[in-house]
Amino acid sequence: SNSHFTRNLWNFVANEAEKLFLYQHFLETPWKPNTTNQQMWRSEWNELASNLTADKDFILTQQNVKENDSLTYSLYRKVKGKPMKQFKVTKKLMDNLPNASPLDGSHFGRCSVVGNSGILLDSDCGKQIDQSDYVFRCNTAPLEPFRCDAGMKSNLTTMNPSIIERRFNCLKKEENISSFAKAISQYNDDIWLPCFGIQSHTQTCLKSLDVYEGLNPRLLVANPAHFRLVWDFWRERKFGTEPLSTGFYLVHVALSVCEEIHLYGFWPFSAQLDPSPGQVHDIPYHYFDNLKVTKNHNMNKEFQILLQMHKHGLLQMHAGKCS
Ligand code: CDP
């Protein structure tokens, strides 16, 4: 009956499967870059971030920090009457920093940022991802077993220090150090370590620089000031109080150094559409492990912003099969 139909209209609004259906169909419609919007984004952001540029300052280098400087940790928020937590730069840290950032002065044509969602499984996106000029990856996702779906090219790969603690026993023993070295040897270029997010991670994180000195890929230290600048930017835009996720931060960096940006594996939902119409099936939060959803980020808001960026031609999100 009519009343049944109209009631259903409202039921659809609250229906999770319906939401995924709309998102996925929206992302499958033909996409065009919008260079005017891209330029507008860049010039507005550059104006705000005049002192810190993504290409030079997203990591600590010999140029942008010196011995005895105070680094402010990026993930704490100001509490009235209390000083912010800081770290005094040591000579040892300086010795472990590169001369310049790998992105210094770079401008890439096509970039891919690979998030860790289970939506990548069976996507066959590996080839497309590897055709990029520069590939960003998150949290040392293993490469070889997911070659077809996520690709192998890895120019910059992030590693949360908690991974060094959990997977490599804080590098306490020789065997931990060698399995750490082996694990990161699968990546092409640089590993990005946020050593100055929260204080409890710093010691282990800096230890990894000491034990791994001079090997390939390089270990680079995230610049907490740049992360905070980006975080503050989004907070001022009604983002919420949760810290930005690694993937979202990388997208922000990519917007400054890449002409064309493709996102894969950004899908903070526990299901995706089946090829058969109207059906959904469950997917894991990560494509490579059984981690349960973490609630310390505002993933829903981030996804909404990324959708808008897609809509306005700043980047293209992929949420389905690539072939
Ligand atoms: O370090 P973090 O916990 O933020 O990241 P992760 O769980 O290792 O995943 C890497 C990035 O992929 C996240 O920071 C998100 O931006 C994105 N992601 C997503 O969009 N949807 C998922 N289901 C999982 C991750």
Instruction: Please provide the DSSP assignment of 8-43 as one string.
Output: HHHHHHH-HHHHHHHHHHHHHS-----HHHHHHHHH
Average pLDDT rounded to a whole number, residues 128-148: 98
Determine if ligand 1 sits within 6 Å of the CB of residue 266: yes
Q: Is the pLDDT of residue 278 over 80?
A: no
pLDDT of residue 280: 85
Rounded to the nearest whole angstrom, what is the distance from the C-alpha of residue 81 to the centroid of ligand 1? 34
* Ligand 1 atom, smallest distance to 138 CA: 10
**Cα–Cα distances in Å, from 136 out to 38, 58, 128?**
19, 13, 14
Average pLDDT rounded to a whole number, residues 108-121: 97
Read off the DSSP letter of residue 259: E
* Ligand 1 atom, smallest distance to 269 CA: 23
**Confidence bin at 41 (pLDDT 50/70/90):** very high
Active-site amino acid positions: 297
Q: Do 256 and 42 contact (CB within 8 A), yes or no?
A: yes
Residue nearest atom 5 in ligand 1 by C-alpha distance? 246
**Does the ipTM exceed 0.95?**
yes
Higher-pLDDT residue of 78, 245: 245
Q: Do 193 and 173 contact (CB within 8 A), yes or no?
A: no
Rounded CA-CA distance 267/221 in Å is 27
Rounded to the nearest whole angstrom, what is the distance from the C-alpha of residue 252 to the centroid of ligand 1? 14
Q: Look up tokens 């139909």; give the residue.
A: 5
Rounded CA-CA distance 308/315 in Å is 9
Q: How far is CA 138 from the centre of its chain?
A: 6
pLDDT of residue 135: 98
**Confidence bin at 241 (pLDDT 50/70/90):** confident
Q: Is the pLDDT of residue 5 over 80?
A: no
Determine if ligand 1 sits within 6 Å of the CB of residue 139: yes
Q: Is the pLDDT of residue 213 over 90?
A: no
Rounded to the nearest whole angstrom, what is the distance from the C-alpha of residue 4 to the centroid of ligand 1? 40
pLDDT of residue 13: 64
Average pLDDT rounded to a whole number, residues 202-215: 94
Q: How far is CA 208 from the centre of its chain?
A: 21
Q: Which of 45-49, 227-231, 246-250 has the lowest mean pLDDT?
A: 45-49
pLDDT of residue 141: 96
Question: pTM for the complete prediction?
Answer: 0.95
pLDDT of residue 111: 98
Average pLDDT rounded to a whole number, residues 253-281: 90
Q: Which of 5-19, 119-133, 195-209 has the lowest mean pLDDT?
A: 5-19
**Confidence bin at 323 (pLDDT 50/70/90):** confident
Q: Is the pLDDT of residue 14 over 70?
A: no
Rounded CA-CA distance 141/287 in Å is 9
Average pLDDT rounded to a whole number, residues 61-86: 93
pLDDT of residue 50: 74
pLDDT of residue 1: 55
Nearest in space to 279 (alpha carbons), one of 7, 9, 18? 18
* Ligand 1 atom, smallest distance to 248 CA: 16
Q: Which two tokens stand for residue 196?
A: 């100055």
Rounded to the nearest whole angstrom, what is the distance from the C-alpha of residue 263 to the centroid of ligand 1? 12
Rounded CA-CA distance 148/129 in Å is 10
pLDDT of residue 12: 67
